Amino acid sequence: MLKKITTLLPDFNCGNCGYSHCEDFAVSLINGKEEPDACPVLKRPAFAANKTSIEKLIQKRNRVTTHNNITITGVIDNYRADIVLKPLKNEKSCRETLLPLCSIDLKTGDVIKYRPLGCPITHIAKIVERQHSLITVVITGPDNDRNIENNAITDVGICMVLAFQGRYEGKILKVGETIRFLPHHCMMQKIHSGVVVQLEKENVRIEIIDLKVWGMPEVNTTTYVTY
């Protein structure tokens, strides 16, 4: 679906929708965060047919809401999650706090390439905070960012993911409870588990991250589509 919607978008990458690239806007459409009208170019008569096609596609997206809660199911093992974790305001992905298993000297602003322990996908991310040996990053993608030269990306190898932070949508959370969640940017749509350690309005920090979950997989449930 992502490829179809991206093809139907103007591909101007003008930023008027609030996203740097049309592909990022397509992701927001799939996840129900934006509507086609947020793109001013789609309002032009020349793109009327494209806009109609996009609206039909996103109506078919596998996303349902019940009493303001979202039914979220992972693709890999079909487990149901309690919440989907979205980016903080004005950021591209929810934040990850990492412990790099290397001795490379890193600083805020660096762009790194790494693979989370237990995940087969290599990530590209920008460091937004550093505290001693821990770094906090925002994901830019599985591929090199369009605006970053290859020699500007530092390969740090495997990292342990210790925490996630972002805005959540789903059930009401409590500090101290163990939850299952789906990171908005997860390319595998893999359900994660962790402990809620901090809550502030719609923002949450989850620590003791694990890719393993408990209980039996859900049957005949709805998938929350990510990229």
Residue whose tokens read 């412990």: 99
Cβ neighbours of residue 159 under 8 Å, at least 6 residues apart?
98, 99, 100, 101, 114, 115, 116, 117
Dihedral (CA of 165, 167, 169, 175) sign: positive
Tell me the residue type at 35. E
Distance CA 27, CA 139 (A): 14
Tell how strand 192-200 and strand 83-86 pair up: unpaired
**Cβ(35)–Cβ(56) under 8 Å?**
no
Cβ neighbours of residue 94 under 8 Å, at least 6 residues apart?
85, 86, 87, 88, 164, 165, 166, 167, 183, 184, 185
Tell how strand 111-116 and strand 153-170 pair up: parallel
0.75 surpassed by pTM: no
3-state secondary structure (DSSP) of residue 63: coil
Res 187: pLDDT: 80
Q: What is the DSSP string of 21-46?
A: SHHHHHHHHHTTS--GGG-GGGGSGG
Res 27: pLDDT: 81
Res 214: pLDDT: 64
Res 212: pLDDT: 76
Measure the CA angle with vertex 117, ends 125 and 206; round to 5°.
Answer: 70
Element (H or E) spanning 179, and its range? strand 178-183
Distance CA 85, CA 60 (A): 22
Res 188: pLDDT: 81
Domains of the chain: 2-61 (1.10.15), 69-210 (no CATH)
pLDDT in tens, the chain (227 residues): 778 899 999 999 898 888 888 988 888 887 777 889 999 999 999 999 999 999 888 776 544 333 344 566 766 677 888 999 999 988 989 999 999 999 999 999 999 999 999 999 899 999 999 999 999 999 987 654 454 555 689 999 999 999 999 999 888 899 999 999 999 888 888 899 999 999 998 899 999 999 877 655 554 444 444 44
